[in-house]
Amino acid sequence: MNRIEKVFQNLHQHNEKAFVPYIMAGDGSLETLAEKITFLEKAGATAIEIGIPFSDPVADGPVIQQAGIRALEAGTTLRSVLAKVAEIRPIVHIPLIFMTYMNPIMAYGIGNFISEASKSGIDGLILPDVPLEEEEMIAPIADRAGIEIIRLVTLTSPLERISAIASKGKGFLYAVTVNGITGARKEFKDELGRHLEKVKDVSPIPVLAGFGISEPEHVKEMNQHCDGVIVGSKIIELFQSGELAKIEELIASSKIEEIKL
């Protein structure tokens, strides 16, 4: 059983919610990656999403784009990230998930990438530019290596398609909460809760909400309708400003039981 499956099985048994923070590998230098990952694990993160810097990140908003630019300017490469994760993996117990695009993987070689990612201890892949119809180029290879493909569904995805996408995975389903790119939002549309509940109804695997979540109140609100959250831009901002206590507060907000709104 993949680490992602195990951790969600444990959450389910204890009726707990997931919190998955996103960080950009190489932002602030690749040497800070171990420090960030171990901090997040100690703070209570369920798993960690590690972004691979890329020059054309179509799904990312300005905060993550700028983090990627800083990482690229610092000389971060896919090869160097794989090597660094391999160093860190022995001291980290929670799942590690790469978020990347297909161009860097294809340039590296799909088979080589999956092999090296597996050796480095990567548990999952998020590939926002690979639709269900095209994932055969990588999904079977990843599956054989024990790496889970984390698939995304959007607000405009029909329930039939959501059901088809969810049926392919064993880890969790990434439910995008806004129409557009990543980035912190002040509020979400009222119908989002109903949408997340519909996604949960058709998904045989846990459903996590992501894109735009930036405040403890957002975490608590989303957790009323799904199995946890993914937080990216806000985590990057808080690391950059050194506000580690606020990161701990965000993660802790997922552990607090709230009365139904």
Task: Note the pLDDT tens digit of each residue in 23-35.
Answer: 999 999 999 999 9
* pLDDT, mean of residues 103-132: 97
Which of 60, 123, 148, 227 is catalytic? The answer is 60
CB burial of 145-168 (b: ≥16 within 10 Å; e: otherwise) equals eebbbbbbbbbebeeeebbebbee
> Can 49 be counted among the known catalytic residues?
yes
> Can 136 be counted among the known catalytic residues?
no
Alpha helices (H) along 121-172: 139-144, 159-166
CA–CA dist 249, 247 (Å, integer)? 5
Nearest to 181 by CA among 71, 70, 58: 58
Which of 5, 16, 27, 49 is catalytic? The answer is 49
Return the pLDDT at 169: 85
Per-residue pLDDT at 260 exceeds 80:
no
* pLDDT, mean of residues 133-162: 96
Asked if residue 251 lies in contact with residue 18, where contact means CB atoms within 8 angstroms, the answer is no
Report the run of H or E that residue 112 belongs to, with start and end: helix 110-120
> What is the pLDDT confidence band of residue 133, given thresholds at 50, 70 and 90?
very high
Report the run of H or E that residue 111 belongs to, with start and end: helix 110-120
**pLDDT single digits (tens) 55-90:** 888 778 889 999 999 999 999 999 999 999 999 999
Asked if residue 101 lies in contact with residue 57, where contact means CB atoms within 8 angstroms, the answer is yes
**pLDDT single digits (tens) 175-234:** 998 765 454 445 555 688 999 999 999 999 999 999 989 999 999 999 999 999 999 999
Per-residue pLDDT at 98 exceeds 50:
yes
Given the structure tokens 């909400």, which residue do they identify?
209
Per-residue pLDDT at 261 exceeds 60:
no
Return the pLDDT at 178: 78
3-253 CATH pick, 3.20.20.210, 3.20.20.70, 1.25.40.10, 1.20.120.80? 3.20.20.70
61's CB contacts (< 8 A; 6+ apart) are 180, 181, 182, 183, 233
